Chains A and B, each alone.
Chain A
C-alpha cells in the first residue's frame, strides 16, 4: 500500500477527479429558464394555460412542441455559426466586433456570384454583373465568400498581432469598413434570385445542420489539436505562450481568419435561406454572437470557455428570445432584456473568476 505513493507523495492520475465542468452549470441554467417560461405560461392569465415546451394538442405525435423547438434552433443556428468563431477569438484573449457587418458584406458579394439568369422566364432584375456571372457552379460563390472572410480575418489578425492595436479598435474599424463595403457594392440595392443549388444551402433546416457540423469541427479543433491548445495558452498567458516557443503572432492571425471564415459561411447560409442579400443584414449579429459565447461561459479575459458551452449559450439565447415572444413581451423590451442578460452573464463570469482566485 505504501508503495503506490512512495516518491510521488500521493501523485494520482485520476480522471474522475476532474473539476465540475462549467458547461453543466449552463445546462442547468437552460433547464431552469425553460421551466420559468413553462411556469409563466401556466400562471399568466392571458396565456390560457398554453405550454411553452410541450405539445398539448396532438399528444400522439410527439411530446414536445416541435414547431417551437424548430424555430428556436433555426433562429440561433446562423448567429451560432458566427459565435463558434467568436468563441475562439475570445478564448485567445481577443474580441471580434466585425462579424455582423462582415456577414452583410460577404452576403452581398457572394450573392452577386450566385444569381440565376432567368427569373420566371424574365431576365434577373437584380443582376449585379453581366451574363458571365449567371448560373455559376455553387462552389464558386462559396469559395469567393470564404476567401473574402479569410482576407478580412487576415487583416484583423495582422493588425492585432503585428501593429499591436487593441482587438476592440481593430475590429471596430473593420466593422465600419465592412458595412461600407456592403452598401457600396450595389449602392444599397439588394441582390436577389440565387441559383437553385445556392438556395439549397440554407433551405429548411440546413442552417441547423451546418451549425451542428461546424460546432463538432470547432470542438475537435479546440479540444484535441495543437491549434486549440495554443489558442487557450495565448488567452491564458501570452508571455508564457511566447516563452514556450508558440508563434503567437501567426497564431492570432490564424484565429481571426478562422473566425471570419465562419462568419462568411454564416453569411452564405443566411443569404441562401433568405434568397436575398441586403446591406443592412446582420444587424447586432456581432453582439449576439459574443453574447452567446459569454452566456456559454467563455471568459472575456481569455483562456476559458468551450464550444459545448457556446452551443449551450446559443440555446439559452434562443430559448430566451422565443420565450419572450411566447409570453408576448414587447419586441422593444426584448432587446433591452437581452442587454441585461449579457451584462448579467459577464458579471457572473467576473464573480466566478474572483471566487476561483480566492480559493488559492
Chain B
C-alpha cells in the first residue's frame, strides 16, 4: 500500500456530452516509470489534466502519496509534489535559467518586506547548478535567458524544475515531440537519470522506440478508457499497437468497455 504514489479510482471527465475519460483506474508505484499511450483523443491528455489539477474531474478519486486529494488548480498539484512538464508552457523567455526554475517559489531574504522582499540570487544559482547536475542537464551558461536557447535546452530547464523541488511525481507530456535527434537523446538521458534516482514518472509519448527504451510499464488508453496495462517485458511494439488501434483489449478491461 505504502509504495503506491498515485492511484486513481474510476476517474471520469465529461465535457458536456463527450465522455473524454471514463472510469480510469490507474496506479503508479514509487520509482516506477509508466508510459501512457493511445491515439489522439484517447483520453491521455485529459487524464493528465485531471491529475495535475489543470481541470477538475467529473467523478472519481485521486489518491496521491497515500492521501485522497482534490486539486483546485495546477498550483495545488505542484504544492502536493506533482510536477508537470508541458511543451513550452511554463517558461518566461526573458528570464534566465535559475529565475525560471524558481519562478513563483523564489528564495528570498528580508521576508518582512512582503512583496518587496529581496531575492537570494546566490542560493538560487547554487541550487540551480545542483539541480542541473542531478538531472545531468547540459546548459552552457545558466545566466543566459531562455530566449537564446534551443528547444531541447528549454525542455531541459523545464525538466530540471522537477529536480529542484524534490517533487514526488514527474509527468511529461510529449517532452520530445518538437525536438531534434540530439536533443531527444538529451531528454531521454535525463529520464534515465530520474529512473536511477528512483523518481516516479508518467511519460506520455507517441514514440514507441522511446517508450520501450525508457519505461517499466505501458498503459494504453482508447476512446476515454484504459484498455491495457502491459509490463514492458511481456509485450512488444506490435502488441502495443494492437491495443492502441483496438484490435486487442485485455480481458479485465473488456467488461468496462461493454458497459
Whether A8 pairs with B104 at a CB distance below 8 angstroms is no
Whether A7 pairs with B129 at a CB distance below 8 angstroms is no
Give the distance in Å from the alpha carbon of A77 to the alpha carbon of B140 in the complex.
Answer: 41
Whether B140 pairs with A226 at a CB distance below 8 angstroms is no
Give the distance in Å from the alpha carbon of A8 to the alpha carbon of B141 in the complex.
Answer: 11
Give the distance in Å from the alpha carbon of A356 to the alpha carbon of B149 in the complex.
Answer: 11
Whether B138 pairs with A245 at a CB distance below 8 angstroms is no
Q: Mark B105-147, 1 if CB is under 8 A from A, else 0.
A: 1101000010111110000010001001100111111111101
**Binding-face segment, B85-93, B200-208, B215-223:** B85-93
* A212 within 8 Å of B (CB atoms): no
Known A-B contacts A226-B106, A241-B104; A7 and B117 likewise in contact (beta carbons under 8 Å) = no
Select A10's contact among B92, B105, B140, beta carbons within 8 Å.
B140
Whether B117 pairs with A11 at a CB distance below 8 angstroms is no
* Residues in A189-214 with C-beta less than 8 Å from chain B: none
Whether B116 pairs with A232 at a CB distance below 8 angstroms is no
Select A229's contact among B75, B119, B125, B149, beta carbons within 8 Å.
B119
* A145 within 8 Å of B (CB atoms): no
Give the distance in Å from the alpha carbon of A303 to the alpha carbon of B103 in the complex.
Answer: 14
Whether B103 pairs with A226 at a CB distance below 8 angstroms is no
* B212 within 8 Å of A (CB atoms): no
Give the distance in Å from the alpha carbon of A216 to the alpha carbon of B75 in the complex.
Answer: 34
Which chain A residue has the least Cβ–Cβ distance from B108? A226
Size of the B side of the interface (Cβ < 8 Å), in residues, is 40
**Binding-face segment, A14-22, A67-75, A340-348:** A14-22
* B150 within 8 Å of A (CB atoms): yes
Known A-B contacts A17-B143, A225-B118, A237-B92; A360 and B133 likewise in contact (beta carbons under 8 Å) = no
Give the distance in Å from the alpha carbon of A240 to the alpha carbon of B154 in the complex.
Answer: 13
Whether A226 pairs with B94 at a CB distance below 8 angstroms is no
Select B105's contact among A12, A15, A245, beta carbons within 8 Å.
A245
Specify which chain B residues have a CB less than 8 angstroms from the CB of A144 in the assembled complex: none
Select B93's contact among A15, A243, A244, A303, beta carbons within 8 Å.
A303
Select B95's contact among A221, A233, A246, A254, beta carbons within 8 Å.
A233
Whether B115 pairs with A246 at a CB distance below 8 angstroms is no
Whether B89 pairs with A243 at a CB distance below 8 angstroms is yes
Whether A14 pairs with B141 at a CB distance below 8 angstroms is yes
Select A9's contact among B75, B125, B136, B148, beta carbons within 8 Å.
B136
Whether B149 pairs with A360 at a CB distance below 8 angstroms is yes
Give the distance in Å from the alpha carbon of A26 to the alpha carbon of B199 in the complex.
Answer: 48
Known A-B contacts A221-B116, A239-B89; A356 and B147 likewise in contact (beta carbons under 8 Å) = yes
Specify which chain B residues have a CB less than 8 angstroms from the CB of A12 in the assembled complex: 140-142
Interface centre among B78, B93, B113 (most CB of A within 10 A): B93
Interface centre among A7, A18, A240, A254 (most CB of B within 10 A): A240
Specify which chain A residues have a CB less than 8 angstroms from the CB of B125 in the assembled complex: 13
Whether A19 pairs with B138 at a CB distance below 8 angstroms is no
Minimum CB–CB distance for B218 against chain A, Å: 28
Whether A13 pairs with B142 at a CB distance below 8 angstroms is yes
Specify which chain B residues have a CB less than 8 angstroms from the CB of A227 in the assembled complex: 115-116
Whether B148 pairs with A244 at a CB distance below 8 angstroms is no
* B74 within 8 Å of A (CB atoms): yes
Whether B103 pairs with A246 at a CB distance below 8 angstroms is yes
Specify which chain B residues have a CB less than 8 angstroms from the CB of A14 in the assembled complex: 141, 143
Interface centre among B104, B141, B143, B145 (most CB of A within 10 A): B104
Minimum CB–CB distance for B156 against chain A, Å: 10
* B99 within 8 Å of A (CB atoms): yes
Specify which chain B residues have a CB less than 8 angstroms from the CB of A237 in the assembled complex: 91-93
Give the distance in Å from the alpha carbon of A304 to the alpha carbon of B93 in the complex.
Answer: 10
Give the distance in Å from the alpha carbon of A237 to the alpha carbon of B148 in the complex.
Answer: 15
Specify which chain B residues have a CB less than 8 angstroms from the CB of A13 in the assembled complex: 125, 129, 141-143
* A187 within 8 Å of B (CB atoms): no
Specify which chain B residues have a CB less than 8 angstroms from the CB of A221 in the assembled complex: 116
Select A240's contact among B92, B117, B143, beta carbons within 8 Å.
B92
Select B133's contact among A11, A15, A239, A359, beta carbons within 8 Å.
A11
Select A303's contact among B92, B142, B150, beta carbons within 8 Å.
B92
Specify which chain A residues have a CB less than 8 angstroms from the CB of B143 in the assembled complex: 13-15, 17-18
Whether A357 pairs with B141 at a CB distance below 8 angstroms is no
Specify which chain A residues have a CB less than 8 angstroms from the CB of B145 in the assembled complex: 19
Interface centre among B103, B137, B139 (most CB of A within 10 A): B103
The 8 closest A-B pairs by CB, nearest first: A244-B104, A9-B138, A303-B94, A245-B104, A236-B92, A236-B94, A244-B103, A237-B92
Q: Name 6 A/B residue pairs within 8 A (Cβ), A-sorted.
A: A11-B138, A12-B142, A13-B141, A14-B143, A225-B119, A239-B90
Interface residues of A (CB under 8 A from B): 7-15, 17-19, 221, 224-227, 229, 232-233, 235-237, 239-241, 243-246, 251, 254, 303-304, 356-357, 359-360
